[in-house]
Amino acid sequence: MTLKGGASQACAACKYQRRKCKPDCPLAPFFPADQPEIFRNVHKLFGVSNILKILKGLHPNQKPIAMRSIIDQANMRDWYPVHGCYGLIQNLQYQIQQAKEELHAIYGQLEMYRQQNQISPVPEDVPSQLELGMAPPNGSLPLFHHTQQQYSAVAALPIPPNHCSNNGGVAGYDNSGDVVPKDNVENALWMQNQYANYSSGSTIQIAAPQPLDVQQEIVQDYDELQPFFDTIDDAQSYMDSKEACDSSSESSLKDTRQSIEHAGKNELKSAAACFSLTSVN
Amino acid sequence: MKMASSSYSNPPCAACKFLRRKCLPDCVFAPYFPPEEPQKFANVHKIFGASNVSKLLNEVHPNQREDAVNSLAYEAEARMKDPVYGCVGAISVLQRQVIRLQKELDATNADLMRHACNEMANNSTLPGANPGHNENNPGFYYPSNYNPWSGGPSGDHDQGGGSSV
């Protein structure tokens, strides 16, 4: 359906709804006519009215970002009808938990080595480690201490209880038993990191079968959004999925997660690659 | 005196209560939106709409519907709290964390291997060192080489026949 006078083609949204695409169509910038499948996924999950409601209360600079996230979410739901983005989040959280446990074990071994080097004196008839070109017995490893500090910082980040087994004895490990505590300070840090990352000129690209090159042009300069993001209320915690993960479905979620790990791990890792951050320009 | 039949029937689910309609025995929402959790359906309805949720539930296997509802409820709540990023923002944060942890793992494993090499060298240079001394050396902790970023999306095996409308 084209406009009179040979004007630009109707956007995918108006084409799908079989209506006239006005010049001020709010969805036209986000749904080009040559990519109808994008709008199809979004329409299937959200619906036009809900999308417009979401966009209505946003600043004009935020609308492209919101639409990008809506499109990403809809595409994920199309690829994974059961779990959608939530499944990917669970998978990533599980990977983080595994990595932290592995780090904890490695740091334990490193500490053991360090203690052994401090306790066991070097025999006199044995060439010193310095002569052998190795580290001194009581040598402090800047890298180790540095990474130890990093580990403490990382361990302080909230982890949902579905994936952790009671904090594993790591100092500073925050496990309140909730998915993510609403008023957790670490969550505020997480929120700041999130917005800082988005405002550093990076954007989430979807490596879909049909590349969304057009979408990149729509995204505005994220540096302008930094002052706005700094004022985000720390109470805006949306990782608390207590209502979503009630006790009755926890076992099914675990089973599902196991099935995800076993059968869909490669697929979810591939989907995570779709959300790899790249910098604009 | 007539007795209200509704007093003997199950209370309406949160969805039917919200939509102000009779909750039929075959209500698709009833198993997943109990009346004790009204906010759950309210969020889902506000973001996705009841009809979209109903269609989605009908497209998945019945034993997967609870997971589907829970994921929708999570995403709806995330979008309510953050209309701009929704739950997608969490994905980018978690991705960065995974990458950071992977780098830390690689560095720490390198440290561990260096220590293990030193230990083995010390043990080999000690006069009369018995093989049992190596029992304190647990060996290498194999480095994690999992790469979460590989290839493109291959879709969910539960997806039945695409989403053409």
pLDDT, position A65: 95
- pLDDT beyond 90 at B153: no
Contact: B96, A197; criterion CB under 8 Å: yes
* The two three-digit tokens of residue A69, written as one number: 């996230």
Query: Burial code of B92-129, b = ≥16 C-beta within 10 A, e = fewer?
Result: bbbbbbbeebbebbebbbebbebbbebbeebeeeeeee
Nearest chain A CA: its distance from B113 CA (Å): 9
- Residue A156: name the closest of A122, A190, A206 by CA: A190
**Which residues of chain A are within 8 Å of residue B40 when distances are taken between CB atoms?**
243-244
Contact: B90, A87; criterion CB under 8 Å: no
For chain A, what is the mean pLDDT? 63
Residues A143-150, mean pLDDT to the nearest whole number: 41
- For A37-71, write each residue's pLDDT tens digit: 899 999 999 999 999 999 998 999 999 999 999 99
Which of A40-49, A193-202, A259-268 tops mean pLDDT? A40-49
As a whole-number percent, the residues of chain A with pLDDT over 70 amount to 39
- For A94-120, write each residue's pLDDT tens digit: 999 999 999 999 999 888 888 877 766
pLDDT range class, residue B140, cuts 50, 70, 90: very low
3-state secondary structure chain B: CCCCHHHHCCCCCHHHHHHCCCCCCCCCCCCCCCCCCHHHHHHHHHHCCHHHHHHHHHHCCHHHHHHHHHHHHHHHHHHHHCCCCCCHHHHHHHHHHHHHHHHHHHHHHHHHHHHHHHHHHHHHHCCCCCHHHHHHCCCCCCCCCCCCCCCCCCCCCCCCCCCCC
Distance from C-alpha of B83 to C-alpha of B79, rounded to nearest angstrom: 5
pLDDT, position A80: 95
pLDDT, position B39: 94
Region of residue B76 (phi > 0: left; psi between -120 and 50: alpha; otherwise: beta): alpha
Residues A149-166, mean pLDDT to the nearest whole number: 39
pLDDT range class, residue A180, cuts 50, 70, 90: very low
Contact: B85, A92; criterion CB under 8 Å: no
pLDDT range class, residue B87, cuts 50, 70, 90: very high
Cβ-in-10-Å burial (0-12, 13-18, 19+) of A3 comes to: middle
CB pairs under 8 A between A and B: 294
CB atoms within 10 A of CB A275: 21
Contact: A44, B52; criterion CB under 8 Å: yes
pLDDT, position A103: 95
Distance from C-alpha of A32 to C-alpha of A38, rounded to nearest angstrom: 9
Nearest to A190 among B93, B141, B156 (CB): B93
Nearest chain B CA: its distance from A22 CA (Å): 24
Contact: A236, B46; criterion CB under 8 Å: no
CB atoms within 10 A of CB A112: 15
- pLDDT beyond 60 at A164: no
| SS3 label, residue A179 | coil
Q: What pTM was computed for the model? A: 0.58
Nearest to A127 among B72, B108, B125 (CB): B125
Nearest chain B CA: its distance from A5 CA (Å): 31
- For A235-244, write each residue's pLDDT tens digit: 444 444 444 4
As a whole-number percent, the residues of chain B with pLDDT over 70 amount to 70
Nearest to A276 among B68, B95, B163 (CB): B95
**Which residues of chain A are within 8 Å of residue B58 when distances are taken between CB atoms?**
none
pLDDT, position A267: 58
- For B28-67, write each residue's pLDDT tens digit: 999 999 999 999 999 999 999 999 999 999 999 999 999 9
Q: Which residues, other chains included, contact A166 with Cβ-Cβ below 8 Å and sequence gap of 6+?
A: A175
Distance of CA A229 to the CA centre of its chain: 17
Residues B95-114, mean pLDDT to the nearest whole number: 94
**Which residues of chain B are within 8 Å of residue A270 when distances are taken between CB atoms?**
150-154
pLDDT, position A120: 63
pLDDT, position B115: 81
Distance of CA B104 to the CA centre of its chain: 24
ipTM of the complex: 0.70
| Residue with more model confidence, A268 or A163 | A268
